[in-house]
């Protein structure tokens, strides 16, 4: 053989081998016989570099019953983070991993049909990086070997401790690399990375339960022990999981800038009015490098005195009940009109939708349903109940149609495809564009092309939105996240279930319940109050006297915003009306908590027309600054008017969780992508924008090409 050719072949082999050792591996495998339940693999990125599947595709090949390996599934979107995992498998497996995984970047649902005697090959960017079994060989019932025996038939097996890269050497003995975790019906461990990264962080938190209230934070400390090497500028951040213990959507509750290792503590603040729950978890993560963490066991958050609900400063539509129905497509939405108690309001243009935009990618249905500009909707009593149902498979519990409230009981019963009272947006939103833009092309004939109010049993959301597309209210379940208000009622399948509101704060998910939707009975109550407490709440809405079930705000704020320019921050706010308003007080913080008063601005007493105010702060350090605004009545009563964030010396991309605002270095053109590679937001000519998603995102500066990774 020519020496030059030999060198070239050797070089290709080394490159292939380095590639295999430097990217991903199959860290866990599960196969449950019989049938197609619980089948899948966990892919681990054992490097410090993220992998963008949109540019470097991940492929899984399968060799069935001793046959040649053929392409089975391709993952071509999403980001696999450093020392994190990606799960590919059947719905029940990926749902388990999404909820329980501590180190999960994302999941791909795929109906694998492999059995214990099938071979699997993993390719990244067209290069073989790992495998289980041997293509073109039939082992009988399973690949097996070792003592104790490790088998691929009806087993959950995970990579052995100390093995931290893939292999391209075929083997019929899985015990060389794997150990048995349990049988194939037990998905334990899927979503948790193996112990391979050079740095580790172990978190310690003393209390097993903590208490917050309406206006009372919990403050304390979290201890952690770190090992390895951390770079200058590293930030240790304390993350609080959601109420189900999942870290896919987290809240930052404390931080420490340090590259030291060993034992340390971080002060934390768990915000007032955090929803109660028994399955919260806490962990510490590092930023440079990103390190795997070991979370504390579950803790309970007790909300001893949740804040009472406040009436929105605008008219709106709340969910009061929604259901998957007793079978098939027998879903319905039950809506409740809110606004000034006892008044008639305008809800024309309001949007009714399933899971688009704010609750993650699961359950997306193209388009939405919208209330027409009809006299019935422009002058409807507050406290009215509106039931909208799927007419193609009518739920047997739906009362007779009452399109116009002919019997004057404040209840409307309508099929979703009534073209007199509803219209649709058929083009937006969809699975890749979450906007509520006007549709460009002409819609198909009437409403016969899609059911707008269907729910996916395994995970979806019901939500209402303002006429301009802004989020108003929603509740999710299953594999979706909790959205802006963290209103995820359950993390499990809701087939044949109904979800309904009781009373109190509708945005506190503990005030919601889950019932049965079964044929011939159950807990569905479309067109009627859900229980006695719910009836009282609705009656208060319909009354023009008394507390009305909600709390009216003396000062109706139209806007509150801030801008940094020429070394100073100018705050601007505008009121719509004021009642006995003595003054406003402005508070400042650099951490998002522990605010200090920095000044007062006189109010206008009682006025019914808009008023504008401003306040200036100078000599500020670089970074994000937080401002809280409060109004004070003549009798001394204080009202919280909200919090905003302003970026000073804008030289980077920042995100404020507190105000859900994305800050850019300057006014320009930016695009924001999610883990699946979907374009969530396109920004033109702005330096900040509201951004209500939770998770891991990429922000691309379209002018200079710089990409920033944000949690």
Position 694 confidence tier, pLDDT thresholds 50, 70, 90: low
Q: What is the pLDDT of residue 282?
A: 93
**DSSP, residue by residue, 399-462:** PPPBTT-TT-SSEEEEETT-TTTEEEE-SSS-SS----PPPSSPPPSTTTT--TT---TTEEEE
What is the rounded average pLDDT of the residues 205-232? 90
- The CATH number given to whatever domain includes residue 637 is 2.60.40.650
Q: What percent of the chain has pLDDT over 70?
A: 84
- The 3-state DSSP class for residue 375 equals helix
The pLDDT of residue 337 is above 90:
yes
What is the rounded average pLDDT of the residues 667-680? 77
- The CATH number given to whatever domain includes residue 170 is 2.60.40.1260
As for how many domains the chain has, the answer is 5
**Statement to judge: residues 76 and 215 lie in one domain:** no
Whether residue 48 lies inside any domain: the answer is yes
Q: What is the pLDDT of residue 551?
A: 45
**Statement to judge: residues 265 and 335 lie in one domain:** no
Q: What is the pLDDT of residue 434?
A: 60
**Statement to judge: residues 221 and 83 lie in one domain:** no
Whether residue 195 lies inside any domain: the answer is no
Whether residue 191 lies inside any domain: the answer is no
Last residue of a domain, one of 237, 272, 305: 305
Whether residue 91 lies inside any domain: the answer is yes
The pLDDT of residue 143 is above 90:
yes
Q: What is the pLDDT of residue 200?
A: 85
Q: What is the pLDDT of residue 447?
A: 46
Q: What is the pLDDT of residue 609?
A: 65
Mean model confidence pLDDT for the chain: 81
Q: What is the pLDDT of residue 423?
A: 85
Q: Which residues does residue 109 pair with via DSSP β-bridges, in sequence order?
A: 89
**Statement to judge: residues 95 and 73 lie in one domain:** yes
**Statement to judge: residues 594 and 478 lie in one domain:** no
Whether residue 194 lies inside any domain: the answer is no
Chain segment 364-414, per-residue pLDDT in tens: 566 788 899 899 999 999 999 999 998 888 999 999 999 999 999 999 999
**Statement to judge: residues 630 and 680 lie in one domain:** no
Q: What is the pLDDT of residue 566?
A: 66
Chain segment 471-497, per-residue pLDDT in tens: 788 999 887 777 777 788 988 888 899
Chain segment 35-57, per-residue pLDDT in tens: 557 899 999 998 878 898 888 99
- Alpha carbon distance 663, 623 (integer Å): 11
Q: What is the pLDDT of residue 73?
A: 92
Q: What is the pLDDT of residue 68?
A: 92
Q: 498 near 477, Cβ under 8 Å?
A: no
**Domain boundaries, position 698:** 653-711
- Alpha carbon distance 115, 63 (integer Å): 10
Whether residue 547 lies inside any domain: the answer is no
**Statement to judge: residues 395 and 261 lie in one domain:** no
- Alpha carbon distance 129, 399 (integer Å): 59
Note if the pTM is more than 0.95. Answer: no
**Statement to judge: residues 347 and 494 lie in one domain:** yes
Would you state the structure tokens that stand for residue 484, as one six-digit string? 């802006």
């Amino acid at each position: 053989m020519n020496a030059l050719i030999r060198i070239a072949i050797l070089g290709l082999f080394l490159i292939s081998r380095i590639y295999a050792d430097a990217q991903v591996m199959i860290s866990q495998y599960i196969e449950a016989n019989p049938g197609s339940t619980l089948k899948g693999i966990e892919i681990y990125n054992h490097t410090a570099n993220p992998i963008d599947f949109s540019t470097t595709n991940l492929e899984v090949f399968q060799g069935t019953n001793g046959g040649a390996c053929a392409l089975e599934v391709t993952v071509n979107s999403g980001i696999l983070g450093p020392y994190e995992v990606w799960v590919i498998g059947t719905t029940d497996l990926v749902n388990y991993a999404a909820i329980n995984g501590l180190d999960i970047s994302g999941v791909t649902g795929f109906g694998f049909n492999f059995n214990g005697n099938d071979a699997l090959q993993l390719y990244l960017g067209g290069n073989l990086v790992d495998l289980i079994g041997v293509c073109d060989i039939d082992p009988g019932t399973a690949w097996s070997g070792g003592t104790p025996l490790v088998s691929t038939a009806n087993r959950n097996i995970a990579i052995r401790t100390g093995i931290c890269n893939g292999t391209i050497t075929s083997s019929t003995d899985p015990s060389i690399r794997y150990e048995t975790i349990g049988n194939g019906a037990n998905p334990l461990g899927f979503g948790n990375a193996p112990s391979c990264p050079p740095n580790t962080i172990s978190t310690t938190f003393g209390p097993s339960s903590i208490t917050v209230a309406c206006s009372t934070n919990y403050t304390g400390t979290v201890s952690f022990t770190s090992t390895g090497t951390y770079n200058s500028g590293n930030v240790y951040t304390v993350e609080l999981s959601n109420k189900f213990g999942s870290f896919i959507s987290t809240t930052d509750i404390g931080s420490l800038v340090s590259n030291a290792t060993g034992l340390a503590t971080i002060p934390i603040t768990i915000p007032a009015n955090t929803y109660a729950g028994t399955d919260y978890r806490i962990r510490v993560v590092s930023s440079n490098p990103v390190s795997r963490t070991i979370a504390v066991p579950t803790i309970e958050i007790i909300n001893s005195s949740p804040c009472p609900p406040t009436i929105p400063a605008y008219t709106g539509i709340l969910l009061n009940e929604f259901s998957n129905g007793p079978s098939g497509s027998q879903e319905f939405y039950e809506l409740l009109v809110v606004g000034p108690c006892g008044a008639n309001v305008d809800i024309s243009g309001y949007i009714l939708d399933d899971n688009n935009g704010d609750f993650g990618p699961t359950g997306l249905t193209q388009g939405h349903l919208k209330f027409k500009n009809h006299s019935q909707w422009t002058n409807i009593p507050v406290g009215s109940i509106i039931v909208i149902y799927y007419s193609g498979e009518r739920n047997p519990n739906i009362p007779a149609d009452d399109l116009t409230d002919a019997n004057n009981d404040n209840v409307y019963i309508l099929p979703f495809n009534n073209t007199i009272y509803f219209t649709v947006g058929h083009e937006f939103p969809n699975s890749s564009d979450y906007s509520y833009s006007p549709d460009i092309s002409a819609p198909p004939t009437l409403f016969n092309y899609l059911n707008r109010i269907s729910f996916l049993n395994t995970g979806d959301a019901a939500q209402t939105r303002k006429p301009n597309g802004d989020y108003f209210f929603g509740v999710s379940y299953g594999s979706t996240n909790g959205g802006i208000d963290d209103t995820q009622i359950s993390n499990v399948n809701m087939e044949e279930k109904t979800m309904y509101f009781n009373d109190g704060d509708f945005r506190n998910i503990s005030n919601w319940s889950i019932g049965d939707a079964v044929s011939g009975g159950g807990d569905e109550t479309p067109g009627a109050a859900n229980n006695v407490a719910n009836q009282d709440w609705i009656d208060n809405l319909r009354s023009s006297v008394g507390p009305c079930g909600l709390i009216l705000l003396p000062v109706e704020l139209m806007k509150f915003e801030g801008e940094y320019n020429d070394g100073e921050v100018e705050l601007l706010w505008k009121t719509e009306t004021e009642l006995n308003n003595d003054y406003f007080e402005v508070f400042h913080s650099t951490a998002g908590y522990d605010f200090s008063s920095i000044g007062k601005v006189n109010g206008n007493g009682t006025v019914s027309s808009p008023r504008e105010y401003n306040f200036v702060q100078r000599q500020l350090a670089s970074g994000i600054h937080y401002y809280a605004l409060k109004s004070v009545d003549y009798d001394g009563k204080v009202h919280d008017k909200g919090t905003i964030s302003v970026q000073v010396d804008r030289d980077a991309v920042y995100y404020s969780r507190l105000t859900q605002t994305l800050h850019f270095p300057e006014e320009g053109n930016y695009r924001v992508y999610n883990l699946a590679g979907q374009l969530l937001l396109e920004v033109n000519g702005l330096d900040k924008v509201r951004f209500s998603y939770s998770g891991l995102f990429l922000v691309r500066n379209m002018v200079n090409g710089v990409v920033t990774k944000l949690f």
